[in-house]
């Protein structure tokens, strides 16, 4: 089955810088990949979806890329703010099911 890898170490950056988070998968390329944000004690909130035939997707300060050769998606937040501090999860279908499987998430901490 598909293994999803997200950096377990927290990413610490300074306000105003661009944060880049990585999601790697191990097997076949999925039909789509999703990114979610999760705050402590809350459920995940959907941010962006990118399909296998798309290389890049943008939404305001967010940008997602999808490289099926590298089996990797990058999630960028430009002009980061302390309010962007959260855990970011990637999710993609695996094991022949359309139901997305979630990575463990990467914690982002933006320092003022």
Partner 1 sequence: DTGVSQNPRHKITKRGQNVTFRCDPISEHNRLYWYRQTLGQGPEFLTYFQNEAQLEKSRLLSDRFSAERPKGSFSTLEIQRTEQGDSAMYLCASSLVGGTGDNQPQHFGDGTRLSIL
CB of 93 to partner 1, least distance (A): 7
| Min CB(16)–partner 1 separation in Å | 29
**Phi, psi torsion values for 84, nearest 5 degrees:** -80, -10
* Beta carbon nearer to partner 1, 9 or 112: 9
Q: How far is the CB of 6 from partner 1 (least distance, A)?
A: 8
* Residue number, 36 or 77, with CB nearest to partner 1: 36
b vs e for 53-89, b when ≥16 Cβ sit within 10 Å of the residue's Cβ? Answer: eeeebeeeebbbbbeeeebebbbbbeebeeebbbbbb
């Amino acid at each position: 089955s598909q293994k999803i890898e997200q950096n377990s170490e927290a990413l610490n950056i300074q306000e105003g810088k661009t944060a880049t988070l990585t999601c790697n998968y191990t097997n076949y390329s999925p039909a789509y990949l999703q990114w979610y944000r999760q705050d402590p004690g809350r459920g995940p909130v959907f941010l962006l979806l990118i399909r296998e035939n798309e290389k890049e997707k943008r939404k305001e300060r967010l940008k997602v890329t999808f490289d099926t050769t590298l089996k990797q998606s990058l999630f960028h937040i430009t002009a980061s703010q302390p309010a962007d501090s959260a855990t970011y999860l990637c999710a993609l279908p695996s094991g022949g099911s359309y139901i997305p499987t979630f990575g463990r998430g990467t914690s982002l901490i933006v320092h003022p």
